[in-house]
């Protein structure tokens, strides 16, 4: 699993997505090769600045992040703990048939080859739309989210950082 880098191109696709104020993810052909996570929360009183993207890059913004943004990221990441997955981390077609109890958003974030992320938020009147785009993304059927094994064992040339993530 790679340490994610913030990507302005991915952010531009996320911004395009939230600008539509859709409550559903964009079709795959509109994502520029990215995979999308979308979170809708009802808090129209939050400012645009408070609804700024947050993906764990403190140098990207010094704004105090609204609880709802943390909730979006935490909700996506918590899918694995809440809904579970096979212990071999193989992503099966059945994930798409689990309704709301799936790990699709988590898989896009945790996918072994995901290296870049960009996010955006927009006030859509009665709600905020928050979207993050991942590149190359994940959730590919019959592939592993990541291979189960020793930490950093698949990092190229032993390029492992202090948080057990591969450098690239």
Average pLDDT of the segment spanning 125-142: 88
Residue 135, judged by CB atoms within 10 A of its CB (0-12, 13-18, 19+), counts as buried
In a domain, 49, yes or no: yes
Are 15 and 130 a contacting pair, CB within 8 Å? no
Say what the pLDDT of residue 138 is: 83
163 lies in some domain: no
Mean pLDDT value of segment 122-140: 87
Q: pLDDT by residue (tens digit) across 2-50?
A: 888 999 999 999 999 999 999 999 999 999 999 999 998 876 555 544 4
Residue 19 within any structural domain of the chain = yes
pLDDT band at residue 95 using 50, 70 and 90 as cut-offs: confident
Task: Give me the half-sphere count of Cα atoms (radius 13 Å) on the Cβ side of residue 117.
Answer: 22
pLDDT over 90 at 165, yes or no: no
Alpha-carbon span 24 to 129, nearest angstrom:
10
The predicted structure's pLDDT at residue 57:
37
> Which residue stretches of 31-103 are H helix?
67-77, 79-83
Residues 48-86: tens digit of each pLDDT = 444 443 333 334 443 433 555 667 878 899 999 999 998
**What is the β-pairing status of strands 128-135 and 116-123?**
antiparallel
151 belongs to a structural domain: yes
Domain count, the chain: 1
Domain harbouring 63, CATH code = 3.40.33.10
User: In the structure encoding, which two tokens stand for residue 110, read together?
Assistant: 């945790």
Domain region containing 47: 5-158
Backbone angles phi, psi at 29, to 5 degrees: -70, -15
Whole-angstrom distance, CA of residue 37 vs CA of residue 34? 10
The verdict on residue 61 lying in a domain is yes
């Amino acid at each position: 699993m790679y340490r994610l880098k913030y990507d302005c191109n991915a952010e531009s696709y996320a911004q395009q997505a939230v600008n539509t104020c859709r409550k559903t993810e964009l079709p795959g052909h509109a994502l520029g090769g990215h995979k999308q996570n979308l979170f809708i929360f009802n808090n129209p009183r939050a400012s645009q600045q408070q609804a700024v993207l947050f993906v764990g890059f403190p140098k990207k913004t010094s704004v105090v992040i609204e609880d709802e943004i943390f909730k979006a990221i935490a909700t996506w990441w918590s899918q694995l703990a809440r809904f579970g997955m096979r212990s071999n981390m193989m992503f099966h077609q059945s994930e798409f048939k689990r309704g709301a109890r799936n790990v699709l958003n988590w898989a896009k974030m945790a996918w072994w080859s995901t290296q870049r992320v960009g996010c955006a938020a927009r006030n859509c009147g009665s709600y905020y739309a928050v979207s993050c785009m991942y590149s190359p993304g994940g959730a590919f059927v019959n592939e592993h989210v990541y291979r189960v094994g020793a930490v950093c064992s698949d990092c190229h040339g032993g390029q492992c950082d202090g948080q057990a993530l591969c450098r690239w």
